[in-house]
Structure 1
Amino acid sequence: PGKPQGNRWASGQYKQHGKKIKKVKRIQIPSKPTYSLNLWSMIKNYIGKELSKIPLLVNFSEPLSMLQRLTEDLEYHELLDQAARCENSLEQMCYVGAFIVSSYSTTVFRTNMPFSPLLGETFELDQTEESGFRSLCEQVNQHPPVAAHHVDSRNGWTFHQEIEITGKFHGKFLDITPSGTVHCIFHATGHHYTWKKALTTVNNIILGKLWIDQSGEIEIANHKTGDKCILKFIPQSYLSQDVPRKITGQVIDPSKKVHFALLGTWDEKVERFQVFPAKEYAREADPGVILWKRNPLPKNAENMYYFSEFALTLNALEDGVAPTDSRLRPDQRLMENGYWDEANAEKWRLEEKQRVSTKKREGRAARATDSGTSALHKALWFEQKEDPITRELVHMYRGGYWECKEKRNWALCPNIF
Structure 2
Amino acid sequence: MARDNYSYRTTLPARGHTEVNLCSVISLGKDLSKIAMPVTFNEPLSFLQRVTEYMEYAKLLKLAAAEQTPLGRLQYVAAFAVSALASSWDRHGKPFNPLLGETYELEREDFRIICEQVSHHPPVSAFHADSDDFVFHGSIHPKLKFWGKNIEVHPKGIVTVELPKWKEAYTWQNVNCILHNVLVGQLWMEQLGALEIKQHGGINLKATLSFKSAGPNGKDLYRVEGFITDADKKRLVFLYGKWTERLRVCEPSLYDETLERIKRDAKSPQNSPGHKKVLAKLHSFKVGAFKPSHQDAIDESSADGEDCLPVDEIPGSITLWEVTPRPPNCSDYYQFTQFAMALNELEPGMSQRLCPTDSRLRPDIRKLEMGDQDGAANEKVRLEEKQRDSRKSKKHKKVMDTIPRWFQFTTNPYTGQEDWLYQGSYWDRNYAEIEDIF
Q: Give the structure-2-normalised TM-score.
A: 0.82
Correspondences of 1:10-49 after superposition (within 5 Å): 24-33=7-16, 39-43=21-25, 45-49=26-30
Q: Are the counterparts in 1 of residues 160 and 170 from structure 2 also a CA contact under 8 Å?
A: yes
Aligned-pair CA distance for 1:360? 2.6
Is 1:411 the counterpart of 2:424 in the alignment?
A: no
Secondary structure of the residue that 1:276 maps to in structure 2? Answer: helix
Q: Could you say which residue in structure 2 is the equivalent of 1:77?
A: 58
Aligned-pair CA distance for 1:205? 1.2
Is 1:118 the counterpart of 2:99 in the alignment?
A: yes
Question: Structure 1 residues 279 and 312 mapped into 2: Cα distance closer, same or farther (>3 Å)?
Answer: closer
Alpha-carbon distance between aligned partners in 1 of 2:257 and 2:333, rounded to the nearest angstrom: 51
Question: Structure 1 residues 278 and 416 mapped into 2: Cα distance closer, same or farther (>3 Å)?
Answer: closer
Q: Could you say which residue in structure 1 is the equivalent of 2:274?
A: none
Amino acid at match of 2:206: K
Alpha-carbon distance between aligned partners in 1 of 2:222 and 2:37, rounded to the nearest angstrom: 28
Q: Could you say which residue in structure 2 is the equivalent of 1:167?
A: 144
Secondary structure of the residue that 2:43 maps to in structure 1? Answer: strand
Aligned-pair CA distance for 1:323? 0.7
Q: Could you say which residue in structure 2 is the equivalent of 1:307?
A: 336
Secondary structure of the residue that 2:321 maps to in structure 1? Answer: strand
Amino acid at match of 2:13: P
Alpha-carbon distance between aligned partners in 2 of 1:38 and 1:90, rounded to the nearest angstrom: 43
Q: Are the counterparts in 1 of residues 236 and 252 from structure 2 also a CA contact under 8 Å?
A: yes
Question: Structure 1 residues 179 and 38 mapped into 2: Cα distance closer, same or farther (>3 Å)?
Answer: closer
Aligned-pair CA distance for 1:30? 2.9
Q: Are the counterparts in 2 of residues 30 and 304 from structure 1 also a CA contact under 8 Å?
A: no
Q: Could you say which residue in structure 2 is the equivalent of 1:6?
A: none
Amino acid at match of 2:139: E
Q: 1:353 aligns with which of 386, 394, 399?
A: 386
Alpha-carbon distance between aligned partners in 2 of 1:203 and 1:287, rounded to the nearest angstrom: 36
Q: Could you say which residue in structure 2 is the equivalent of 1:221?
A: 198
Correspondences of 1:151-166 after superposition (within 5 Å): 151-154=129-132, 156-166=133-143
Secondary structure of the residue that 1:52 maps to in structure 2? Answer: helix
Q: 2:168 aligns with which of 191, 199, 218?
A: 191
Q: Which blocks of at least 5 consecutive residues in structure 2 are unaligned?
A: 261-313
Alpha-carbon distance between aligned partners in 2 of 1:246 and 1:279, rounded to the nearest angstrom: 19
Amino acid at match of 2:128: H
Alpha-carbon distance between aligned partners in 2 of 1:211 and 1:280, rounded to the nearest angstrom: 35
Q: Are the counterparts in 2 of residues 83 and 95 from structure 1 also a CA contact under 8 Å?
A: yes
Q: 2:365 aligns with which of 332, 339, 349?
A: 332
Aligned-pair CA distance for 1:153? 0.8
Aligned-pair CA distance for 1:377? 3.3
Alpha-carbon distance between aligned partners in 2 of 1:211 and 1:278, rounded to the nearest angstrom: 30
Question: Structure 1 residues 378 and 204 mapped into 2: Cα distance closer, same or farther (>3 Å)?
Answer: same
Q: Could you say which residue in structure 1 is the equivalent of 2:308?
A: none
Correspondences of 1:265-276 after superposition (within 5 Å): 265-276=242-253
Q: Which blocks of at least 5 consecutive residues in structure 1 are unaligned?
A: 1-21, 369-374
Q: Are the counterparts in 1 of residues 17 and 332 from structure 2 also a CA contact under 8 Å?
A: no
Q: Are the counterparts in 2 of residues 246 and 264 from structure 1 also a CA contact under 8 Å?
A: yes
Alpha-carbon distance between aligned partners in 2 of 1:241 and 1:311, rounded to the nearest angstrom: 29
Q: Could you say which residue in structure 2 is the equivalent of 1:343?
A: 376
Q: Deviations over 1:318-374 (max 9, x none)?
A: 41111100000000000000000011011000001111112233345xx47xxxxxx
Q: Deviations over 1:77-133 (max 9, x none)?
A: 111110000111111111111111111111111001011000000000011xx2x21
Aligned-pair CA distance for 1:23? 6.1
Q: Are the counterparts in 2 of residues 259 and 276 from structure 1 also a CA contact under 8 Å?
A: no
Alpha-carbon distance between aligned partners in 2 of 1:34 and 1:110, rounded to the nearest angstrom: 10
Is 1:390 the counterpart of 2:420 in the alignment?
A: no
Alpha-carbon distance between aligned partners in 1 of 2:142 and 2:39, rounded to the nearest angstrom: 19
Alpha-carbon distance between aligned partners in 1 of 2:247 and 2:231, rounded to the nearest angstrom: 24
Q: Deviations over 1:144-173 (max 9, x none)?
A: 10011001112x110001110111111211
Q: Could you say which residue in structure 1 is the equivalent of 2:226?
A: 249
Alpha-carbon distance between aligned partners in 2 of 1:209 and 1:280, rounded to the nearest angstrom: 39
Q: Deviations over 1:378-413 (max 9, x none)?
A: 100111111122222221111111012xxxx42131
Q: Give the structure-1-normalised TM-score.
A: 0.86
Alpha-carbon distance between aligned partners in 1 of 2:255 and 2:419, rounded to the nearest angstrom: 44
Is 1:289 the counterpart of 2:318 in the alignment?
A: yes
Secondary structure of the residue that 2:117 maps to in structure 1? Answer: strand
Q: 1:317 aligns with which of 346, 366, 369?
A: 346
Q: Could you say which residue in structure 2 is the equivalent of 1:145?
A: 123
Secondary structure of the residue that 1:67 maps to in structure 2? Answer: helix
Q: Are the counterparts in 2 of residues 273 and 288 from structure 1 also a CA contact under 8 Å?
A: yes
Structure whose alpha-carbon radius of gyration is higher: 2
Q: Are the counterparts in 1 of residues 170 and 200 from structure 2 also a CA contact under 8 Å?
A: yes
Aligned-pair CA distance for 1:237? 2.0
Q: Deviations over 1:269-325 (max 9, x none)?
A: 11101123999999xx85100111111111210001111111111100141111100
Question: Structure 1 residues 32 and 47 mapped into 2: Cα distance closer, same or farther (>3 Å)?
Answer: farther
Q: Deviations over 1:163-190 (max 9, x none)?
A: 1011111121111111111000101111
Amino acid at match of 1:400: S
Secondary structure of the residue that 1:42 maps to in structure 2? Answer: coil
Amino acid at match of 1:288: S
Alpha-carbon distance between aligned partners in 2 of 1:295 and 1:278, rounded to the nearest angstrom: 27
Question: Structure 1 residues 96 and 149 mapped into 2: Cα distance closer, same or farther (>3 Å)?
Answer: same
Alpha-carbon distance between aligned partners in 2 of 1:278 and 1:105, rounded to the nearest angstrom: 25
Alpha-carbon distance between aligned partners in 1 of 2:9 and 2:182, rounded to the nearest angstrom: 33
Alpha-carbon distance between aligned partners in 2 of 1:151 and 1:42, rounded to the nearest angstrom: 39
Question: Structure 1 residues 29 and 274 mapped into 2: Cα distance closer, same or farther (>3 Å)?
Answer: same
Question: Structure 1 residues 278 and 403 mapped into 2: Cα distance closer, same or farther (>3 Å)?
Answer: closer
Q: Could you say which residue in structure 1 is the equivalent of 2:406?
A: 381
